[in-house]
Amino acid sequence: MFKKPATNVKSWLLSNSDRRKLRDELIKRFPELATFETKQGEQNLSILPDRINRANITTYNDLHGMLYIEEKNPTWLRFYKDKREMLVPSVYTLWRFPNLLPKIPTFAPVISKLNGGANLMIPGIAFPPEGLPDVREGELVSVTIRGSNYPLAVGIMCVPTNTLKPGSVKKGIAVQIIHIYQDHLWSMGDKSQIPEDEDVKIDSVTQDQEFVEQTFNEMKIADDTIKESSETSDPHAKTTNVQAYDEEQNIEGSYEEESETKNSGIEQPSTKYTTAEVDNLLQASFYQALLKKLTPSGTLPLTSSQLYSAYVLPSRPVGTDNDVDVKKSSYKKITKFLKAMEKKGVVKLKEQRGDTLLIGVKWDHDELKLFKPHKTIEKASISASKSQIKDDDISSDSNNVDQIKITEVFMPKGAIGELFQMQGKSIGEVYEYKEVSKIILDYVTSHDLADKKNRRFVIPDEQLCKIFASKQGEPVPDKMTRNDLVYHVQSRMDEYHSVTLPGDKHRLRKGRPKSIQISEARRMGNKIVTIIKGLEEYEIDPKDLIEPLKKLCASSVAVLQSPNSSPKKPLSELMVQGPQTKQVKEYLASSKGFPEKYIEIIKMKSKDKK
């Protein structure tokens, strides 16, 4: 439904009465929500916030509906299907209430097919030991990866679950997907990732080849890479069992940070593994990089050097360190290794301007499906770095991280200032939205402006008419709801924002608060770098972040002059090697105390799009 972007009109604020009606409707349709009523001190459990917007949308296939938006995230979708009204939670809502809908588990590789616009077919269901939940045809369900608690998609059950059994040869659509993680509805929100507050082991697909092929053929997904790759896998090739190496070498879970090595031009023989073992470990690192770092939605094409340095090397098994190197393998060069993988049918390559590019991956290749992921040196290094950064923060400040607080405030002017003075308020001060609302509603009460027939509405008096009078001579409404009155008054006030920095430093600045921008960009040689801008706005010195980000991202970090810099106001930006958006955002939020609401993630544009 949201494979392509939907068009939507400008959203507007939901009135208190409509919000209450929506809340009652949600509890009636989803009784489980009644247990999540707001409790004192637990605002994160509230079903609906005090402010929620709604917007009319139209999908690319001309389906009309209404979207409810909480801050930036779409939370509920209302539309009609077969003359029946549907009220569907988004993945953002399902992550807050993971048990809201019955769960239909599937295999991890199937999710990439669902992201491509396919529905979940019956052979794609991963039957749990306790059996499927009792769901009738036409009811809403969520789709999870087997072993995970958090839903990745929501859809309509197309067949009763009591008719489905493990090992059945029954075919057809099991769940018609409405919305899935990483589609365009998810992209309308803050693009947050799946919660990671519990250890989830995602099972690999262990079905036989015939069963898995049946699943993907049922989905009718045409993979261009599969079509163009006609060669079969080498029957003598063996899948590397990294866990066996771990046990054999007595490799433990904690490791020192991977040291940066320099090419000396002299090939050093391996003293820990034989050439055949290096070949197997290199292949395992390559498969790990494809499945865990690249993913089907990853950025392609990639040059051979970028693939090797940014994806394969960090994906080596823990404990192998510099003993696993393409120069110590039988291939000697990364290009020769990639061509061997292409011969197996795992990837598709292309020669361009003397360089080898990775342009496609056969995600349902047998060796990729049966590969067992391992713990990588990158993950071990990041874990150690996070612990070190946390220890450094605690040792330098025993009172934990000082939070940077940003509050949007408003200053009255003109006719609004006169109204504030009539209520005994100063016109030279700034007020938060709640304070503005109270002042306006107190004015309505003290001047008895409520409609006698319907107290929800307010009849503007002369003072309010002065506020709403426009130069274009547009008529002032005869009456309006209280929420609309507050909203329109606030929108005519001057915008400011208050910033509280560590050390109790207060700053009042005009305009809306600026965001710290994190973006990824391509540099020479098709390399990806992460750029951080806007740190100085909140008195964060970019130079202070060099060492922590070096440890956290295991990459080089540099401070550059911003293109928007001027001699009077010099500005800098940080550049981190590799795609490090997630790590940088987590660091700013946890270690620097910066509000995630004002961290803006800018996606890298595809080179193929004009």
Please give the pLDDT value at position 306.
78
Query: In this structure, are residues 174 and 122 in contact, taking their beta carbons and an 8 Å threshold?
Result: yes
Phi-psi region of 81 (alpha: psi -120 to 50; beta: other; left: phi over 0): beta
List, for residues 343-384, the tens digit of each pLDDT value: 999 999 988 877 888 889 998 898 888 888 888 887 765 555
List, for residues 129-172, the tens digit of each pLDDT value: 888 888 888 899 999 988 888 899 999 999 998 888 887 777 88
Answer yes or no: CATH 1.10.245.10 is held by domain 413-492.
yes
CA distances 351 to 36, 286, 335, 339, 354, Å, are 57, 20, 10, 11, 7
Domain topology for 514-602: Translation Initiation Factor Eif1 (3.30.780)
Distance CA 73, CA 192 (A): 9
Copy the structure tokens of residue 398.
């025993």
Copy the structure tokens of residue 477.
């409404």
Rg of the Cα trace of the chain?
28
Provide the sign of the torsion angle of the four alpha carbons 366, 372, 376, 379, taken in this order. positive
Q: Give span(s): CATH 1.10.10, the chain.
A: 283-375
CA distances 447 to 162, 442, 444, 463, 600, Å, are 63, 9, 5, 11, 44
List, for residues 473-482, the tens digit of each pLDDT value: 667 788 889 8
Task: Please provide the average confidence, as pLDDT, over all residues in the chain.
Answer: 77
Query: In this structure, are residues 574 and 558 in contact, taking their beta carbons and an 8 Å threshold?
Result: yes
Q: Rounded to the nearest 5°, which phi and psi values hold at 603?
A: -75, 145
Please give the pLDDT value at position 144.
92
Distance CA 458, CA 603 (A): 44
Query: In this structure, are residues 323 and 278 in contact, taking their beta carbons and an 8 Å threshold?
Result: yes
Instruction: Assign domain 283-375 one CATH number from 1.10.287, 1.10.260, 1.10.10, 3.30.160.
Output: 1.10.10
Instruction: Assign domain 7-219 one CATH number from 3.10.400.20, 1.20.1070.10, 3.40.640.10, 3.40.50.300.
Output: 3.10.400.20
Distance CA 185, CA 179 (A): 7
Q: Identify how many contiguous H helices and E strands the chain contains and give both numbers.
A: 18, 25
Q: Give 85: exposed, middle or buried? Use CB within 10 Å, 0-12, 13-18, 19+.
A: exposed
Distance CA 491, CA 43 (A): 27
Query: In this structure, are residues 356 and 338 in contact, taking their beta carbons and an 8 Å threshold?
Result: yes
Rounded to 10°, the helix 334-344/275-288 angle is 70
List, for residues 435-453, the tens digit of each pLDDT value: 999 999 999 999 899 988 8
Residue whose structure tokens are 């005519």: 492
**What does the CA dihedral 325, 331, 333, 337 come to, rounded to 10 degrees?**
-100
Phi-psi region of 191 (alpha: psi -120 to 50; beta: other; left: phi over 0): left
% of the chain residues with pLDDT over 70: 78
Please give the pLDDT value at position 201.
41
Task: Give the pLDDT band of residue 213 (cuts 50, 70, 90).
Answer: very low
Give the pTM. 0.38
Bond prior to 301 in cis (omega within 30° of 0): yes
Task: Give the pLDDT band of residue 257 (cuts 50, 70, 90).
Answer: very low
CA distances 11 to 7, 17, 26, 69, 179, Å, are 12, 17, 20, 8, 20
Amino acid, single-letter form, for residue 365: H
Task: Give the pLDDT band of residue 401 (cuts 50, 70, 90).
Answer: low
Distance CA 393, CA 165 (A): 54
List, for residues 539-590, the tens digit of each pLDDT value: 888 888 998 888 888 788 888 888 777 777 788 889 998 888 888 998 888 8
Distance CA 91, CA 49 (A): 17
Q: Please compute the mean of the pLDDT values over residues 111-122 and round it to a whole number.
A: 87
Please give the pLDDT value at position 391.
53
Contacts of 473 (CB under 8 A, 6+ apart): none
Q: Over the range 12-46, which residues count as b (16 or more CB within 10 Å of their CB) and which as e? A: ebbeeeebeebbeebbeebeebeebeeeeeeeeee
List, for residues 59-98, the tens digit of each pLDDT value: 877 778 888 888 888 999 988 776 678 899 999 989 888 8
Please give the pLDDT value at position 524.
67
Q: Give span(s): CATH 1.10.245.10, the chain.
A: 413-492
pLDDT at 237 over 70: no
Higher pLDDT among residues 304 and 263, named by residue: 304
DSSP string, 381-408: HHHHHHHHHHHHHHHH-TT-PPPPEEEE
Residue whose structure tokens are 């700034």: 430
Please give the pLDDT value at position 41.
40
Distance CA 56, CA 439 (A): 32
Query: In this structure, are residues 449 and 461 in contact, taking their beta carbons and an 8 Å threshold?
Result: yes
Q: Give span(s): CATH 3.30.780.10, the chain.
A: 514-602
> Which residues are 560's β-sheet partners?
573
pLDDT at 220 over 50: no
Copy the structure tokens of residue 576.
């981190």
Distance CA 73, CA 156 (A): 22
Residues in the chain: 610
% of the chain residues with pLDDT over 90: 15
